[in-house]
Structure 1
């Protein structure tokens, strides 16, 4: 590779007139060994615009276009939440009207308790994320470190089960939760604990397989050294391994929380009472009725609901790339 600012001719790097090619950048010397006068500014020749655009400029152009494409829907929803007109058609002009009335009305509807929906979503999302991380990590550690009969079949089964969407089991889930409610009402139909258990069962397979690849990147010699000191599997897992696999734990927890917040079908079937519903189910009430659709209030609720996922994403973004790619190769 040639240094920045060097011109090439026939594959051989050349420098601007009067400078040595092997001199480090920031310490340019005149030909003959004499250093450049102190305080002089060395101006390197700029690349022509055509060459710049062919090499890197087109990438910047595509990046700006994708940024506009991704940001426009967000700005449109924000503009609609500040427009008290009640329809999305009145929000065609972005930020033509700025009024916080929709945000105030959002919390003044007793029959549609947005604050309760928000709290329910946080409880269900955090509980599901914590349970998914713990159960997935335990299963992944077992598959990665232990050798037992049915290990390979179990991994393949986990992968195959995820090929069928959970939507196909909606009738079975409803009948199962109805039967459980007759025996254990606290974890049956129309309970948040029951919904959390359904989420944990549905997300265990894919997260276990994702963590399994990451656990394999941790050297097994660490486990062997700990066993020589008398540590068992539980001590190794909770005191050593969990700290080393923190990136994948953060990724799985974040994905589980986001998936729980946006999930609609299962939550709408299991949760019946309005005060127990989640944001995804509750917000739908603002636009589900043909004669009383209020898109402005719906947009305001969507904007507030997006604050926590965005904050979590920004807080955990340094773990995301490493957590998703570290277990992809061995």
Structure 2
């Protein structure tokens, strides 16, 4: 009789559905963590967007989300003649694009050399690149200022106040970590492809551009994206190098709106931050399909 009762009770439980406690212990708690992490990440973005649309322009007036709506902050952002937001936007795009492209190209060539060629000092060079990344660029601000000041007396186009000088500084700081990241990805490409191409008479240049580069597109996209994001939000070095307001980037220019205490330009600052995020979001969405494969495959040890 008890056996028949147990079987009848078990038959009332829908097939394929576990009890709530068992489901929560196995996978349910992950959903709660994901929801909490999403809310934690989205709230600052909503707050900035609310402040950008709030016409009061102060942080105190933006304490409640989306209580008032208006485009006055965006209008004032582009109408201010003393603070050329449009020029800052173009400067950021130019510096970010040039630096990202140069970082990808130079880093790819260095990674190809470390991955495919055997020469004296190869291992020491890789360890040196890795060691240099332990020291942030912030520690070299004084040295960068003095170096560019000295170079400016000889080559004014590379001195203080020049965007080209800032690009060179960014390249020097980004090549190390990006080269090491691409080096791990290059090792995942079979060397048999190189050997077959060289048997057919291809040179290193032809192997690099026609065979290797198309195969490592994911890591190139990831490096370019990370470089562009870092340059768009970098403030300290850009504020030291770029002294002319017309040559400044968005990070440096927008800071002038809130540099003073009790500033009433927080709404304009938030509006500029929203517009500044558009190129980064656009590039991220365009390169999204390469991001996962580029980051995971680069972790293969070669």
Same fold by TM-score, threshold 0.5 exceeded?
Answer: yes
Which residue of 1 is the match for residue 54 of structure 2?
83
Which residue of 2 is the match for residue 225 of structure 1?
196
TM-score by length of 2: 0.93
My pick for the range that moved more, 315-324 or 257-266, is 315-324
CA deviations 1:3-41 (Å, max 9, x no partner) are xxxxxxxxxxxxx97xxxxxxxxxxxxxxxxxxxxxxxx
Distance 1:323 1:160 in 2: 23
Query: Which residue among 225, 229, 238 is the counterpart of 1:267?
Result: 238
Distance 2:78 2:70 in 1: 15
Question: Is the counterpart of residue 167 in structure 1 residue 138 in structure 2?
Answer: yes
Distance 1:272 1:291 in 2: 25
Q: CA deviation at 1:311?
A: 1.5
Which residue of 1 is the match for residue 106 of structure 2?
135
Q: CA deviation at 1:112?
A: 0.5
CA deviations 1:102-143 (Å, max 9, x no partner) are 011100111101000000000000000000000100000000
Distance 1:329 1:260 in 2: 27
Distance 1:46 1:123 in 2: 56
Which residue of 2 is the match for residue 193 of structure 1?
164
More relative contact order, 1 or 2 (CA 8 Å, 6+ apart): 2
Question: Is the counterpart of residue 101 in structure 1 residue 45 in structure 2?
Answer: no
Runs (4 or more) in structure 1 with deviation over 6 Å come to none
Distance 2:57 2:268 in 1: 7
Question: Is the counterpart of residue 59 in structure 1 residue 45 in structure 2?
Answer: no
CA RMSD of aligned residues (A): 1.4
- Contact kept? 2:185, 2:300, Cα under 8 Å: no
Distance 1:293 1:265 in 2: 23
SS of match in other structure, 1:63: helix
Q: CA deviation at 1:249?
A: 0.2
Distance 2:56 2:70 in 1: 10
Which residue of 2 is the match for residue 146 of structure 1?
117
- How many pairs were matched up? 290
SS of match in other structure, 2:257: helix
Which residue of 1 is the match for residue 128 of structure 2?
157
Gaps of 5+ in 2: 1-9
SS of match in other structure, 1:163: coil
Question: Is the counterpart of residue 236 in structure 1 residue 204 in structure 2?
Answer: no
CA deviations 1:246-286 (Å, max 9, x no partner) are 01000000000000001001100010110100000000000
Distance 2:109 2:69 in 1: 50
Which residue of 1 is the match for residue 44 of structure 2?
73
- Contact kept? 2:58, 2:263, Cα under 8 Å: no
SS of match in other structure, 1:87: coil
CA deviations 1:149-205 (Å, max 9, x no partner) are 111111111111111111111111111111111111112111111110110011111
Q: CA deviation at 1:55?
A: 2.0
Question: Is the counterpart of residue 254 in structure 1 residue 225 in structure 2?
Answer: yes
Which residue of 2 is the match for residue 304 of structure 1?
275
